[in-house]
Amino acid sequence: MDTSTKNVSLEDLQKIVGEEHAREATEEDVVDGVAPSFVAEPGSTEEISELMKLASEEGLVAAPRGSGTKMDLGNPPRDLDLIVSTARMNEIIEHTPGDQVVRTQAGLKLQDLQEQLASADQMLGIDPPETRAGATVGGIVAANSSGPRRYSYGTVRDLIIGITVVLPDGTIAKAGGKVVKNVAGYDLSKLFTGSLGTLGVIATCNFRLHPKPEAARTVAVELGDTLSAGQAAQAIVHAQLVPSAVELHWSEEQKLLSILIEGIPPGVEAQAETASYLLKGFGEVRTLSDEEVEDLGPLDPPGVGDEEVAIQVSAPPAELTGVLDSVLGATERRGVTPRITGHAGVGTTYVALSGGDEEARVQVVEELREIWVRRGGSVVVRKAPPSTKSRLEAWGPVGDYLGLLRRVKDKFDPGGNLNPGRFVGGI
Amino acid sequence: MEREQLIRTMESILGTEGVVHEREQLRSYECDGLMNYRVVPDLVVLPESAEHVQQIIRVCYEEGIPFVARGSGTGLSGGALPVQSGVLIVLSRMRKILEVDIPNQRIVVEPGVINIWVSQEVADEGYYYAPDPASQVVSSIGGNLAENSGGVHCLKYGFTTNHVMGAEVVLADGSVVHIGGGKAPDAPGYELLGAFVGSEGTLGIATKITLRLLRVPEAVRTLLAAFEDTEEAGGAVSGIIGGGIVPAAIEMMDALCIEAVETAVHPGFPQAGAILIVELDGPEAEVADQFDRVIKVCEENNASEIKVAEDDAERALFWKGRKAAFAAMGRIANDYYVQDAVVPRTELGAVLKRISELGEEYGMRIANVFHAGDGNLHPLVLYDNDNPGEAEQAEELAADIVFACLDHGGSLTGEHGIGVDKKKFMPKMFTDDDMNTMQLLRCAFDPHGLCNPGKIFPTPRLCGERPGPFHMHPIQRAGLAENF
């Protein structure tokens, strides 16, 4: 893809971000087997803009990076010269507790943000598993990462209210604002959510916040089979309960559906009682201790092992039993071992595939795609060794909107300078 | 294409009953809920299906004719204002509820379906559709989608954008795309649906919409609290929110507004400088406890009276009073100008003070009704159209109120949209770079600028497309746009 002469030296980058903030890339910076030349850590939105201007003028291919917890997501990049790291942009810009709004720089780690907000009894209502690994708010927005609480708070696309981005040509643009209710102009915050660094570099984000719950309890039921898993989840989501999360944990060792209930103490108590009552018919019900909850995860996402292939199956939530049956069937027939967790109330199921050979794991993914894409869902490969990735497209087939996705990409990044190849349809 | 030929072409698609072309009949479509802008469309078409919409748009595309979609026409920013020499596509005959899927908590509807029908359709199952704009008995889901409508309960439950899960959209070239997962979450690709909702009809026409249904809460409790002035009522709002409670709704009305509403619909509101309507919903035990906390906060902020709705009928009466606020202004003034702007909640006091000062400076009365929980103000500037110059003065005052909100870190609009009404103010909130970047999205969806042109952006941009079916853009020809 080297179509232009890339006459950029380390000194050129250092001139923009300062000598100590640009360096030659190392083994650690390789993305899915593709090695960049440089890493630059801009300290401001303006510095990102200068870097992007230089990159597009010189034909450098850039990839934004926060803490790098999700660099495995998507297809291998077609090309990569420069990593633009937001690591130094880690400040809270503004937090007015009375407004329940926070403005942050993109490189701020979510766990640092949550810690700050906790002192005002507030929180950002997202809990993606890579938080513990140091994921940044910008990275979470770029990947639209979510966790168990999306059942009640939605995903980050529902909580982001404003954004500043830097386009590949260096243009600094903002959208939204710092008020929760706002319909002025297009909602580019949502467009950039989940765009995986292919449209621009996210520089700052504004979010709406929620009060931190005073109390929490997790009630879980031991499941006997896939049918009871689906039925138990349906019993909870159709009740007048308002759980924060409805989670499935399914492996050889244990099969549980856990219900996280948060709020004020009397409310939590009453709801936990109702949940236990509703779940009794499906198996043994108990309240989990904090340690058990911690161990269950999903803070330890499937797919951490190097040999594993991690996939996300998205399907209508009422089809949970069908999803489990399809996964168990496809893996058993090929001698592959699945480890399953999922946001059962939402319809997302994460499966880590280990054992069997690569061919078997690829076939499992293909079979699941065949089933769930036809039924309106998707099967996305979230993590896989490079050899598996070369055989499996990460995102799977998408519908009639692929052409529109391409046109959006072409408008925002006409030179193809940002993260080429990693996104849907080779975008 | 000559107008006569266009009429015949549209009639061949829709039948004669689906095409309106008589001057007199066209006039009834010349404006939406914002009546100070009027344009008589060249032609009105009334499709009955997505296929009709697609065929209509194909004709428009091939002939380079701009088109505007209209639902029930209740919008308050002129989003459905027709364009001259354009076609108005009225979706009010597409009113079918296509599918109810309770297990997945979804409903699929056509765009002309009225907001309240959705909740009515699933009420027996114990479900409802959360976004409830004051216009919900007449406004359409398609219009709600275009405007990203809010409502009194969006403080807790979010806006239309948080409840639309999928849409079938006919793009400006007549192609059809299905965006958003619908029933399954996390469809791969850009968040096109999130960008589409609230785009004010400028990116395409939704012909099928999948909405999220919520379970009816176990308990709902509503109170009305009276205060000496808006400052004390504002103190109570801060106390409630600051205490970690997320009410389903907190609405505030000032003395002038109370007077008008009381005259119009007799909801039994107390005479006061300000009243709050606070509603909590959720599990019984939680609501009961938090309701006591809310009462305590109101008392601490010197509430002169607190009325708790004893039953559904009394709750309905409180809400009837609130939702009638705009219309009730007719009882105390001949004319009024509705403003819609947002400030950060902590700036409410300062902005209300500024609004009252502006009223004095202009010598005009301003009634305030607003969604206090999210800082969304609806000042109503009262005037008399029979007095020369007053209408212009009211508009000027309303603009100054919006500027005051921007000065305090707010937004031009919380729910009514930019439309034609506020596009001239966009540069006060956004830079040229911001707006040009937004228009890149438009160029991806509608490179020829045929879909609801002239809305949102003060300076429409063309997209630098190679000359295709069009050698000269109609907007460009009219000197209304420059090349991007």
Using the Cβ of B286 and the Cβ atoms of chain A, whether some distance falls under 8 Å is answered with yes
Query: According to the CATH classification, is domain A10-86 in 3.30.43.10?
Result: yes
Provide CATH code, domain B3-90: 3.30.43.10
Environment class of residue A19 by beta-carbon count within 10 Å: exposed (0-12), middle (13-18) or buried (19+)?
exposed
Give dist(CA B459, CA A215) in Å, integer. Answer: 52
Selected residue of A150, A179, A381 to mutate for chain B interface (largest B Cβ count, 10 A): A179
pLDDT of residue B272: 95
Cβ neighbours of A101 (radius 10 Å): 24
Which chain B residue shows the shortest CA-CA distance from A74? B188
Query: What separation, in Å, do the N-terminal and C-terminal C-alpha atoms of chain A show?
Result: 14
The CATH fold assigned to B333-421 is Alpha-Beta Plaits (3.30.70)
Selected residue of A155, A167, A181 to mutate for chain B interface (largest B Cβ count, 10 A): A181
Query: Are residues B187 and A165, on separate chains, in Cβ contact within 8 Å?
Result: no
Give pairs for A404-407: CB < 8 Å, separation 24+: A404/B171, A404/B177, A404/B179, A404/B192, A404/B444, A404/B445, A405/B189, A405/B190, A405/B192, A407/B444, A407/B445
Give dist(CA A420, CA A417) in Å, integer. Answer: 7
CATH classification for the domain delimited by A92-211, as one of 3.30.750.200, 3.50.50.60, 3.10.450.50, 3.30.465.10: 3.30.465.10
Ranges A212-216, A304-308, B395-399: which has the least confidence = A304-308
What is the residue-wise DSSP string for B325-376?
A: HHHHGGGT-SEEEE--EE--GGGHHHHHHHHHHHHHHHT--EEEEEEGGGTE
Q: Give bridge partners of residue B140 from the DSSP assignment.
A: B114
Structure confidence at residue A307 as a pLDDT band (50, 70, 90): low
Structure confidence at residue B470 as a pLDDT band (50, 70, 90): very low
Cβ neighbours of B344 in A, within 8 Å: 96, 99, 101, 178-179
Range A117-128 average pLDDT: 97
Query: Tokens 């083994």 appear where?
Result: A27
Give dist(CA B308, CA B322) in Å, integer. Answer: 15
pLDDT of residue B466: 45
Contacts for A20 with CB less than 8 Å, ≥ 6 apart: none
Query: What separation, in Å, do the N-terminal and C-terminal C-alpha atoms of chain B show?
Result: 27
pTM greater than 0.90 (yes/no): yes
Amino acid found at A295: D
Residue A5 has pLDDT above 70, yes or no: no
Q: Which helix H or strand E contains A173, and what residues bound it?
A: strand A172-176
Residue A360 has pLDDT above 80, yes or no: yes
Distance from CA of B90 to the nearest CA of A (A): 23
Range A73-88 average pLDDT: 96
Task: Report the half-sphere exposure of A255 (CA within 13 A, side-chain side).
Answer: 14
Contacts for B384 with CB less than 8 Å, ≥ 6 apart: B333, B334, B335, B390
Helices (H) and strands (E) in chain A, counts: 14, 19
Give dist(CA B218, CA A278) in Å, integer. Answer: 15
Give dist(CA A146, CA A130) in Å, integer. Answer: 9
Q: How many A/B residue pairs have CB atoms within 8 Å? A: 271
Query: Are residues B162 and A167, on separate chains, in Cβ contact within 8 Å?
Result: no
Query: Are residues A401 and B238, on separate chains, in Cβ contact within 8 Å?
Result: no
Provide CATH code, domain B97-215: 3.30.465.10
Distance from CA of A26 to the nearest CA of B (A): 30
Q: What does the pLDDT look like over B28-65, one tens digit per residue?
A: 999 999 988 999 999 999 999 999 999 999 999 999 99
Range A91-100 average pLDDT: 96
pLDDT of residue B463: 84
Query: Are residues A98 and B241, on separate chains, in Cβ contact within 8 Å?
Result: yes
Ranges A291-305, A364-378, B409-423: which has the least confidence = A291-305
Using the Cβ of B461 and the Cβ atoms of chain A, whether some distance falls under 8 Å is answered with no
pLDDT of residue A207: 98
Q: What does the pLDDT look like over B254-308, one tens digit per residue?
A: 999 999 999 999 999 999 999 999 999 999 999 999 999 999 999 999 999 999 9
pLDDT of residue A308: 83
**Between residues B142 and B329, the one the model is more confident about:** B142
Give dist(CA B467, CA A389) in Å, integer. Answer: 40
Q: One fold for both A215-296 and A309-389?
A: yes
Cα separations (Å) of B329 from B153, B257, B361, B396, B424? 23, 7, 21, 19, 27
How is residue A213 annotated by DSSP? P
Q: Work out the percent of chain A whose per-residue pLDDT is above 90.
A: 91
How is residue B269 annotated by DSSP? P
Query: Are residues B158 and A380, on separate chains, in Cβ contact within 8 Å?
Result: no
Tokens of B330: 């007719």
Q: Which helix H or strand E contains A285, and what residues bound it?
A: strand A285-288
Q: What does the pLDDT look like over B7-32, one tens digit per residue?
A: 999 999 999 999 999 999 999 999 99
How is residue B302 annotated by DSSP? T
Q: Give bridge partners of residue B68 from the DSSP assignment.
A: B88
Environment class of residue A137 by beta-carbon count within 10 Å: exposed (0-12), middle (13-18) or buried (19+)?
buried
Map out the domains of chain A as residue ranges: 10-86, 92-211, 215-296, 309-389
CA-based Rg of chain B, rounded to a whole angstrom? Answer: 23
Q: What does the pLDDT look like over B431-441, one tens digit per residue?
A: 999 999 999 99
Query: Are residues A188 and B437, on separate chains, in Cβ contact within 8 Å?
Result: yes
Please give the distance of CA B86 from its chain centroid, rounded to a whole number. 23
Cβ neighbours of A369 in B, within 8 Å: none
Structure confidence at residue A2 as a pLDDT band (50, 70, 90): very low
Map out the domains of chain B as residue ranges: 3-90, 97-215, 218-328, 333-421, 427-477
Provide CATH code, domain A309-389: 3.30.70.2740
Query: Are residues A271 and B286, on separate chains, in Cβ contact within 8 Å?
Result: yes
CATH classification for the domain delimited by A215-296, as one of 3.30.70.610, 3.40.50.720, 3.50.30.10, 3.40.50.620: 3.30.70.610
Which CATH architecture group holds B218-328? 2-Layer Sandwich (3.30)
Q: Work out the percent of chain B whose per-residue pLDDT is above 70.
A: 96
Determine the 3-state secondary structure of B29 from DSSP: helix
Query: Are residues A267 and B376, on separate chains, in Cβ contact within 8 Å?
Result: no
pLDDT of residue B483: 44
Return the beta strands (E) in B189-323 as ranges. 205-212, 214-215, 219-227, 249-254, 274-282, 305-308
Whether omega for the bond prior to residue A298 falls within 30 degrees of 0, making it cis, is yes
Which chain A residue shows the shortest CA-CA distance from B465? A411
Query: Are residues A211 and B456, on separate chains, in Cβ contact within 8 Å?
Result: no
Contacts for A13 with CB less than 8 Å, ≥ 6 apart: A22, A38, A40, A51, A54, A82
Query: Are residues A180 and B198, on separate chains, in Cβ contact within 8 Å?
Result: no
Residue B480 has pLDDT above 80, yes or no: no
pLDDT of residue B467: 40
pLDDT of residue A49: 98
Q: What does the pLDDT look like over B191-230, one tens digit per residue?
A: 999 999 999 999 999 999 999 999 999 999 999 999 999 9
Structure confidence at residue B1 as a pLDDT band (50, 70, 90): confident
pLDDT of residue A163: 98
Query: Are residues A99 and B344, on separate chains, in Cβ contact within 8 Å?
Result: yes
Structure confidence at residue A75 as a pLDDT band (50, 70, 90): very high
- When the pLDDT of each residue in chain B is averaged and rounded to a whole number, the result is 94
Give dist(CA B185, CA B400) in Å, integer. Answer: 43
Q: One fold for both B218-328 and B333-421?
A: yes
Ranges B189-203, B398-412, B452-466: which has the least confidence = B452-466
Range A404-418 average pLDDT: 97
- Put simply, the chain B residues between 213 and 252 with a CB less than 8 A from any chain A CB are 215-218, 238, 241-242, 244-246
